[in-house]
Amino acid sequence: MFPPTSLLTTLLLALSIAASPVEVRNSPVTLPIVRKLNVSDGTINLLKRDKSYVVAIQERSFSALDRRDDSVPVTNDAAVGSYIVQVGIGRPATTYNLVVDTSSSNTWIGASTPYVKTSTSVNTGQLVSFGYGSGAFFGTEYTDAFTLSDGLIITDQSIGVSSPSMAFGFAGVDGILGLGPVALTEGTLNNQPVTQIPTVTENLYNQNIISQNVVGISFDPITSLTGTNGELTFGGTNPAKYTGSIAYTPITATFPATFYAGINGSITYGTTTLLSAAGIVNTRTALIYVATDVFTEYQSATCSTLDEATGLLRITSTQYSALKNLNFEIGSSTYALTPNGQIWPRSLNTYIGGSSSAIYLIINDIGLPSGQGIDFILGYTFLERFYSVFDTTNSRVGFATTKYTNATTN
């Protein structure tokens, strides 16, 4: 933890009590992230995993209605096609590789590396579980020291402790780092259906390690199997990772998107409006998902065909030349996904089960018609073009352009 008398901490605390929402820049909790693609995990499997998680988001939201009676190194793990963060738990710390998930909030371990108990480990005696569509875990709640970087330790952090036999769909990783709203933890302690569990970000804030409950996320496009391509920043943003200023929009009131990093927005292809509705921002899904009727319109407008080998839309070089921007109008700003930003990196085609000469689109079908309350999901292929900020303190989500927004790397 940073000394409370340090100049930086004093400045951040002063900013946090300002009368209007402020942006904390140069957060002290910022470290690089790395992404790698597992060549043994084909796109069709990634698509199936993505879609099963999309279904879980939708089903979890409806069950929620029933219940109403700083930065760390990250890699894109092959086994699940998601970004992975390394953390330490216990003192001395054991290192665990956790999936970064903004659409769930429980943090848990044990899918691969066994939990090593130390003097800081406390068994609360509570059973904890959660389902993700593409996987699930069952285990026991502990509190323990939680290390994000050298010398940066959260005390008494709640974690779920599972085992390989009780964690399903997480081969190759150790568990989840839940960065979503704390309300998503409600009901995960099996005998306490209305209890909420403080998240890692909340405890960073509550223990005065960061001055605001904010996470900034930077993902850069990647065209090779491995490479450093971004960062997580807890407590603020890193101006070096974006251009211009961050534009914020309030969390939507639309159910069920309001349970997540939900936003209102419109989607246009060229000048044709395809959708005006609520959706969510999600680091866990790879692709961009839109409601079925919108997907059909997009497919027609791009003259694309469904590729059986990958499950993605495929276009010809001539059709690529005719592609128009896919615009996301969020708040008062428009974020244009260029033609190059709408396609999977061609240098990685063979690693996802596709043809090296093909052009695949990253827009896919959410599986339900529009009007369901989550009509689009912006996965990490969107976030690789735009910097994102999840600001729980002020109930808002922010975006900014980056030097890769108009890149032609794909």
- Asked if residue 4 has a cis previous peptide bond (ω within 30° of 0), the answer is no
Answer whether 109's CB lies under 8 Å from 309's CB: no
* 230 band by pLDDT with thresholds 50, 70 and 90: confident
Closest CA to 203 of 33, 9, 3, 1: 1
Smallest CA-to-CA distance from 132 within 42, 218, 52 is with 52
Are 168 and 136 in contact by the 8 Å Cβ rule? The answer is: yes
Is 78 in contact with 128 (CB distance < 8 Å)? no
pLDDT at 352: 78
Whether 223 is in a domain gets the answer no
Q: Which pLDDT band holds residue 279 (cuts at 50, 70, 90)?
A: very high
- Which of 24-28, 171-175, 282-286, 330-334 has maximum average pLDDT? 330-334
Domain count, the chain: 2
Q: Say how far apart CA 306 and CA 44 lie, in whole Å.
A: 12
Is 309 within a domain?
yes
Residue 252 has pLDDT above 90, yes or no: yes
Tokens of 144: 């323990």
Q: What is the pLDDT of residues 373-399, one digit of tens each?
A: 999 999 999 999 999 999 998 999 999
Residues 250 and 336 in one domain: yes
Of 188, 217, 246, the residue that ends a domain is 217
What share of the chain has pLDDT > 70, as a percent? 82
More confident residue, 321 or 195: 321
CB-based contact 240:398 (threshold 8 Å): no
Radius of gyration of the chain (CA): 20
Whether residue 200 sits in one domain with residue 261: no
pLDDT at 242 over 80: yes
1 belongs to a structural domain: no
The string of DSSP letters for 26-41 reads S-SEEEEEEEE--TTS
Q: Average pLDDT of 2-20?
A: 35
Sign of CA dihedral 221, 31, 237, 96: positive
305 and 187 share one domain:
no
Q: Give 206-225 pLDDT, tens digit per residue.
A: 999 888 999 999 988 877 66
- Of the candidates 283, 301, 407, 269, which has an alpha carbon nearest to the alpha carbon of residue 345? 407
How much is the pLDDT for 227?
Answer: 57
Does residue 18 belong to any structural domain of this protein?
no
Indicate whether 79 pLDDT > 60.
Answer: no
State whether residue 294 is helix, strand or coil. Answer: helix
CB 388 within 8 A of CB 343: no
pTM comes to 0.87
Instruction: Tell me the C-alpha distance between 95 and 50, whole Å.
Output: 27
Report the CATH number that the domain containing residue 151 is assigned in CATH.
Answer: 2.40.70.10
Residues 6+ apart with CB under 8 A from 264: 249, 252, 254, 277, 278, 330
pLDDT band with cut points at 50, 70 and 90 for residue 243: very high
Q: How confident is the model at residue 359 (pLDDT cuts 50, 70, 90)?
A: very high
212 lies in the same domain as 354: no
pLDDT band at 198 (very low <50, low <70, confident <90, very high): very high
pLDDT at 325 over 50: yes
Q: Which amino acid is at 101?
A: D
> Residue 27: what pLDDT?
55
Answer with the residue of higher pLDDT: 351 or 274: 274
Residue 290: predicted pLDDT: 97
Q: Is residue 328 part of a domain?
A: yes
Average pLDDT over residues 68-78: 43
Whether the bond between 92 and the residue before it is cis, its omega within 30 degrees of 0, is yes
Tens of pLDDT, residue by residue over 89-147, are 999 999 998 888 999 999 999 999 999 999 999 999 999 999 887 688 999 999 999 99
pLDDT, tens digit, for every residue of 186-195?
A: 989 987 777 8
Distance from C-alpha of 388 to C-alpha of 370, rounded to nearest angstrom:
25
Q: What is the mean pLDDT of the chain?
A: 84
Q: Is 130 in contact with 104 (CB distance < 8 Å)?
A: yes
**CA-based nearest residue to 148, from 170, 177, 124, 119:** 177
Same domain assignment for residues 210 and 242: no
Tokens of 408: 């032609």
Mean local confidence (pLDDT), 271-299: 95
Q: What share of the chain is helix, strand, coil (3-state, %, to 5)?
A: 20, 40, 40
Q: Quick one: 356 exposed, middle or buried, by C-beta within 10 A (0-12, 13-18, 19+)?
A: exposed
Domain extent for 369:
238-401
d(CA 266, CA 335): 10
Burial 195-213 (b: 16+ CB within 10 A, else e): ebbbbbbbbbbeeebbbbb
| Structural domain contains residue 123 | yes
- 330 forms bridges with which residues in the sheet? 265, 333
Are residue 176 and residue 208 in the same domain, yes or no? yes
Choose the final residue of a domain: 217, 251, 275.
217
Tokens 């659409």 — which residue? 103
Per-residue model confidence (pLDDT) at position 306: 96
CA separation for the pair 33, 38 (Å, rounded): 16
Greater confidence (385 vs 30) lies with: 385
Using a 10 angstrom Cβ sphere, with 0-12 exposed, 13-18 middle and 19 or more buried, the burial of residue 113 is middle
pLDDT at 68 over 60: no
The SS3 call for residue 110 is coil
Q: What are the backbone angles phi and psi of residue 139, rounded to the nearest 5°?
A: -170, -160
Q: Within a domain: residue 7?
A: no
Please identify which residue in the block is written with the tokens 């690693």: 351
* Contact by Cβ (8 Å): 138, 129: yes
Asked if 184 and 76 sit in the same domain, the reply is yes
Q: Do 270 and 356 reside in the same domain of the chain?
A: yes
Residue 11 pLDDT: 31
Judge if 80 and 188 occupy the same domain. Answer: yes
Check whether residue 212 and residue 252 sit in a common domain: no
